[in-house]
Structure 1
Amino acid sequence: MAAGTDTDAGGGGRELLRSLVRAQRGRLASAVLLAVVAVACQLVPYLMAYRVAVELVTEAAPDGGSLIRYAVVALVAIAAGTALMGGALAISHVCAYWLLYRLRQRIAERVSVLPLGEVTRRGSGGVGKLAMEDVERIEVFVAHMLPDAVAALTVVAATTVWLFVIDWRLAVAAVAVVPLAMLAMRHATRGSGAWVAQWHGAGMAMNQAVTEFLHGIKAVKVFNRQTDTVARATDAVRRYVDSETRWGLAFLPGGAAYFTIMAANVAVVVPVGLWLYRDGAVDVPTLLLFLLLALGYTGPLTKLTGYSSQLRQVRFGADEIAALLDSPALPDTARRAPLGPASVELADVSFGYTPDRRALDGVSIHAEAGRVTAVVGPSGSGKSTVARLVSRFFDVDAGSVRVGGVDVRDMAVDQLMDTVAVVFQDPFLFHDTVRANLTLGRPDLDDETVHRAARAARCHDFILALPQGYDTVVGERGATLSGGERQRISIARALLKDAPVVVLDEATASTDPENEIAIQQAVANLATGRTLLVIAHRLSTIRDADRIVVLTDGQVVETGRHDDLVTADGTYARLWADATTSARWSLGASDERSGARG
């Protein structure tokens, strides 16, 4: 991640922050006004202390009633200041939570229309950090930093004016340390843009590593790789800590000098004040007032400096959020084009996930409407890429993908999603009820329609056996169901979507024989009256397909029906021979185990 300087970086983030503030400027103005009045109230006790000092020094017999009044005024001012600041923070929090909601909504909306490649490149951990941690920092900026910073600035400005009105010589003594402190802070924050960039990048890498570890925890345990995966996640956390530590150490010399100098203003005010008092230039009340104000003068400045450091972090996170929100969406014509028969055609398609490596090179496939077309090939041949391009998770580099005779880039994205249903190899189920997962595309369906689809997908019986039937919550990513059960639910979901084109991406690749039979029956019901494009791993599941397309190294090498391709003794025949040999090995192993049990 490249780091810019403070002067040339963050334009997108600054504009994002400005737009968020503008959206709630009325409420924020009220919060700021209350904060300013609260600060004014906080200065009243100093004035009352000054009046008490004058009364005690100048009057031979101080008026007890006046002293009590001064004390009451000070207490009322303190209470009023506290209440007003509380009101300011309450209003700023309301604004901040609204902005937090709106910003996360915008992030979700943008992610939903981005090309899948852009989301994959950023990673779920990176996007999650933007949506959670960086948005939270913006919330803190609006809810706390904005009113507090205005209040602190008001204290500094009002106190400075007051000091110079009372005695310019003592005022100069009180503020003399500030320029020196600012020079120290400038040294401390030198190169902070680069430090913030490294820190932010390390944070995103840490989020990605931890998220990946949590998502893959089952595989980690099954393959007993806890040591390796924990080490990778720990290493990412350590790099984050190291980045933050190096930043802190770089800040330490100048920062320590800054805080030391700011705390030393009393050491300047006291000797200057005593010298002026000795010469009769100031009286005791004035000297006491300056001592009181000097003790509190640098506190707000220190708070402002701390906010400036936090603001750099907020701005950098806002830059990343703005970059995500400005990322180009998948182009959408928004035109619902008239479609012909529900065929699928790839015409001379070339595509690569990276510029230097093509997944498909000049591929042409025609899946006739109402027929079953299978795409097979060895691992890495480009089979799943075909499914992703038909679903328009990516756009082709060259050639075209047509559905119903229309280029998928020329139809509205929602029309394509209505036309094509996809059943993935590893279907995703939400942490919700079975019914909610089944009716994801059409939540208004009645129970009879849902049950009919579930029966057709061979999942109705096991759903009824669940503790709450269709109202059973399936857990995160469907964790309470087996892989085959999740697959059949995803097929039922595709049936309920009732799309004319269905893409099955390795639907039976990792299922046991019993589930495979149930899934094949469900697929047969799914194929009725629809165009089925099957990305197949197990060749036994597609031997009856109307057309089989064989890919090797991203190119079509054979097409035809099963018997013809086996007779041709080409790539498909070798794949089929390997598949049948593997099946015989499995059967042989099963027979041996049966004999041992006997």
Structure 2
Amino acid sequence: MAAETDSDAGRGGRELLRSLVRSQRRRLSTAVLLAVAAVACQLVPYLMAYRVAVELVTEVTPDGNALVRYALVALVAIAGGTALMGGALAISHVCAYWLLYRLRQRIAERLAVLPLGEVTRRGSGGIGKLAMEDVERIEVFVAHMLPDAVAALTVVAATTVWLFVIDWRLALAAVAVVPLAMLAMRHATRGSGAWVAQWHGAGMAMNQAVTEFLHGIKAVKVFNRQTDTVARATDAVRRYVDAETRWGTAFLPGGAAYFTVMAANVAVVVPVGLWLYRDGAVDLPTLLLFLLLALGYTAPLTKLTGYSSQLRQVRFGTDEIAALLDTPALPDIGRRAPLGPASVELDDVTFGYQPDRRVLDGVSIRADAGRVTAIVGPSGSGKTTVARLVSRFFDVSTGTVRVGGVDVREMSVDQLMDTVAVVFQDPFLFHDTVRANLTLGRPDLDDEAVHRAARAARCHDFILALPQGYDTVVGERGATLSGGERQRISIARALLKDAPVVVLDEATASTDPENEVSIQQAVANLAAGRTLLVIAHRLTTVRDADRIVVMTDGRVVESGRHDDLLRADGTYARLWADATSSAQWSLGATGERSGASR
């Protein structure tokens, strides 16, 4: 079964390459024709050298004008070949850059519609390698390998025919080494598919390790774990180097034999040619011509061999790209459904990120339209998973998730995104201005609307205090702002989106106690006229919710209002007691617990 899958993936990569080439076949055909003409021009100097040899050998008084003409023709051929090859490469590069743009666009479009779990499984490093390294190799294939390879094959074929027309015996001597060289190359490339797979896998692991190191550099420095994390990244780089070294070592014996034999055709042509010349079977000009051509005859073949090795890498990369592009998108019905009041409902939902591990088990939750519903529970209880299912980052295993009374799978993804806004626990801000990050969902909004939302989210004042106010660039991932500031900007962004349903996934987890009142006020403004589903870490922020749902181990164990849940003296009451008692803790100089009375 695995072999069939690998074969299918291989066919996908080959078909992707073919489709890319077909999409630019007219331009690429022009580039190939120009490249063939350019390489043909490179043969003209050899022909002129042959003419010169004939003139010098056969004529007692060589014709000086003829020699000058031959030299001029050779110079023109060299200049023309250079110009033609430049034109071929210019056209092939235009094709290649267009294909790079289109292919990366297709990758981005596919990533945008894939389930979040698939994107997470591949990792940013692996996807980055596909979108950058592997796509760049396709550029090399289209811009260089394709026109050069076709031109080289054409010229080798034409030269071989020409040699046999002139003298079949010397032609056999010139090509005699080629079959032996091919046998050596076959030995050198035996098992190369496995070596390429190991090399490619090690490269993706290296990219992932380095990307993870860069993303986690702050935590690395804070916890003083530079040695360990650098060692992990270095180990990934070393594994990549080892894979490449093993591949090169396996190739070396056969490869060395190939290049040695290919360069040895002169050693065959010279003795055969001298023997035939001694017997009067060939004349001196013919012998000189073969000696000249023998020096360059195998060069195009050697270039083709190098391209074949690169082509294996290109094909392996295109297999991976094709597999990504063929990964099923999150199903989208593609039509908008009539929605009722903006309620959210999970009906007997079961879900697991892995087939053998359930995260939610028979969960039923209802968030009434226009009300605030909070979901609380210990870490790992499934709270964030509920938020992801409502936003349809994943589809449920069994059961139903409804928004506005409609199964989220029965409405278009665009409609769901228009209906639901999400404020994440770790909000992502782009390396752009505050204004651009605020208006991400609605870039056409005017300043008045933006400022009004910022005031409601309690972030207007600190934004004005920034160096350029709303035009301040916040840095990569909002690095110049505090966690609470990023969170309030994300709340303002949700306000500006003006969706009827808002999901807050641990939105207050990264705020300090001094900002908690501001966050609560921002959330209250966000809730006005909307259905709010709050995934809460701090219970104090949701005590006034219309309904509180308590989860443990992927199940709903309680629900109700704050006071009712306290009187029930169940899981929520214990969580509340823990939260309120921890708020009274303080740490002395010795790190011991001290009460509020101290």
Q: TM-score, normalising length from structure 2? A: 0.97
Cα distance per residue 1:461-515 (max 9 Å; x no partner): 1111111111111111111111111000000000000000000000111211122
Tell me how far 1:40 sits from its aligned partner. 1.0
Give the secondary structure class of the aligned counterpart of 2:551: strand
Structure 2 Cα separation of the partners of residues 532 and 435 of structure 1: 25
Residues 85/151 of structure 1: CA separation in 2 closer, same or farther (3 Å cut)? same
Number of corresponding residues: 598
Tell me how far 1:135 sits from its aligned partner. 0.4
Tell me how far 1:568 sits from its aligned partner. 1.1
Give the secondary structure class of the aligned counterpart of 1:581: helix
2:249 aligned residue: 249
8 Å contact kept, 2:37–2:84: yes
Structure 1 Cα separation of the partners of residues 5 and 483 of structure 2: 50
Structure 1 Cα separation of the partners of residues 373 and 330 of structure 2: 27
8 Å contact kept, 1:4–1:194: no
Cα distance per residue 1:505-544 (max 9 Å; x no partner): 0011121112222211111100101000000001111111
8 Å contact kept, 2:586–2:595: no
Q: Is 2:255 the partner of 1:223?
A: no
Tell me how far 1:589 sits from its aligned partner. 8.7
Give the secondary structure class of the aligned counterpart of 2:361: strand
Cα distance per residue 1:238-288 (max 9 Å; x no partner): 111111111011111110110000000000000000100110001111111
Tell me how far 1:323 sits from its aligned partner. 0.6
Structure 2 Cα separation of the partners of residues 136 and 545 of structure 1: 53
Residues 592/357 of structure 1: CA separation in 2 closer, same or farther (3 Å cut)? closer
The aligned runs of 1:173-572 (5 Å cut-off) are 173-572=173-572
Give the secondary structure class of the aligned counterpart of 2:256: helix
Tell me how far 1:588 sits from its aligned partner. 8.1
Give the secondary structure class of the aligned counterpart of 1:33: helix
Structure 1 Cα separation of the partners of residues 276 and 352 of structure 2: 80
1:32 aligned residue: 32
Where does the alignment leave 5 or more consecutive residues of structure 1 unmatched? none
8 Å contact kept, 2:178–2:262: yes
Moved more, 65-74 or 578-587: 578-587
Cα distance per residue 1:272-327 (max 9 Å; x no partner): 00100110001111111001100000100000000001001001100110111111
Structure 1 Cα separation of the partners of residues 547 and 436 of structure 2: 35
Residues 597/527 of structure 1: CA separation in 2 closer, same or farther (3 Å cut)? closer
Cα distance per residue 1:57-93 (max 9 Å; x no partner): 1111101111111000000000000000000000000
Structure 2 Cα separation of the partners of residues 596 and 586 of structure 1: 7
Structure 2 Cα separation of the partners of residues 6 and 459 of structure 1: 53
Residues 145/183 of structure 1: CA separation in 2 closer, same or farther (3 Å cut)? same
Structure 1 Cα separation of the partners of residues 192 and 586 of structure 2: 62
8 Å contact kept, 2:213–2:233: yes
Give the secondary structure class of the aligned counterpart of 1:7: helix
Residues 394/140 of structure 1: CA separation in 2 closer, same or farther (3 Å cut)? same
Percent identity for Structure 1 against Structure 2: 90
Cα distance per residue 1:144-192 (max 9 Å; x no partner): 0011111111221111111101100000000000000000000111111
8 Å contact kept, 2:27–2:95: yes
Residues 8/55 of structure 1: CA separation in 2 closer, same or farther (3 Å cut)? farther
Residues 201/592 of structure 1: CA separation in 2 closer, same or farther (3 Å cut)? closer
Residues 302/347 of structure 1: CA separation in 2 closer, same or farther (3 Å cut)? same
Residues 479/312 of structure 1: CA separation in 2 closer, same or farther (3 Å cut)? same
Residues 388/590 of structure 1: CA separation in 2 closer, same or farther (3 Å cut)? farther
Residues 597/545 of structure 1: CA separation in 2 closer, same or farther (3 Å cut)? closer
8 Å contact kept, 1:2–1:197: no
Residues 380/306 of structure 1: CA separation in 2 closer, same or farther (3 Å cut)? same
8 Å contact kept, 1:3–1:193: no
Moved more, 255-264 or 152-161: 152-161
Runs of 4+ in 1 over 4 A off after TM superposition: 1-9, 587-598
8 Å contact kept, 1:378–1:552: yes
Q: Is 2:136 the partner of 1:113?
A: no
Cα distance per residue 1:417-463 (max 9 Å; x no partner): 00000000100001111111000000000110001001111111111
Structure 1 Cα separation of the partners of residues 596 and 185 of structure 2: 79
Give the secondary structure class of the aligned counterpart of 2:4: coil
Residues 597/349 of structure 1: CA separation in 2 closer, same or farther (3 Å cut)? closer
Structure 2 Cα separation of the partners of residues 289 and 4 of structure 1: 52
Cα distance per residue 1:43-68 (max 9 Å; x no partner): 00000000000101111110111111
Cα distance per residue 1:183-211 (max 9 Å; x no partner): 00001111111111111111111111111
8 Å contact kept, 1:438–1:489: yes
Residues 240/57 of structure 1: CA separation in 2 closer, same or farther (3 Å cut)? same
Cα distance per residue 1:354-413 (max 9 Å; x no partner): 011111000000001111100011110000000000000000000000000000000010
Tell me how far 1:7 sits from its aligned partner. 7.8
Residues 593/359 of structure 1: CA separation in 2 closer, same or farther (3 Å cut)? closer
Structure 1 Cα separation of the partners of residues 390 and 187 of structure 2: 56
Structure 2 Cα separation of the partners of residues 112 and 78 of structure 1: 50
Tell me how far 1:591 sits from its aligned partner. 13
Give the secondary structure class of the aligned counterpart of 1:453: helix
8 Å contact kept, 1:4–1:193: no
Residues 5/463 of structure 1: CA separation in 2 closer, same or farther (3 Å cut)? closer
1:582 aligned residue: 582
Cα distance per residue 1:332-351 (max 9 Å; x no partner): 01111111111000000000
Give the secondary structure class of the aligned counterpart of 1:364: strand
Residues 244/175 of structure 1: CA separation in 2 closer, same or farther (3 Å cut)? same
Tell me how far 1:9 sits from its aligned partner. 6.0
Give the superposed CA RMSD: 2.2
Tell me how far 1:6 sits from its aligned partner. 10
Cα distance per residue 1:92-139 (max 9 Å; x no partner): 000000000000000000000000011111111111111110000001
Tell me how far 1:10 sits from its aligned partner. 1.6
Structure 2 Cα separation of the partners of residues 7 and 581 of structure 1: 61
Residues 597/274 of structure 1: CA separation in 2 closer, same or farther (3 Å cut)? farther
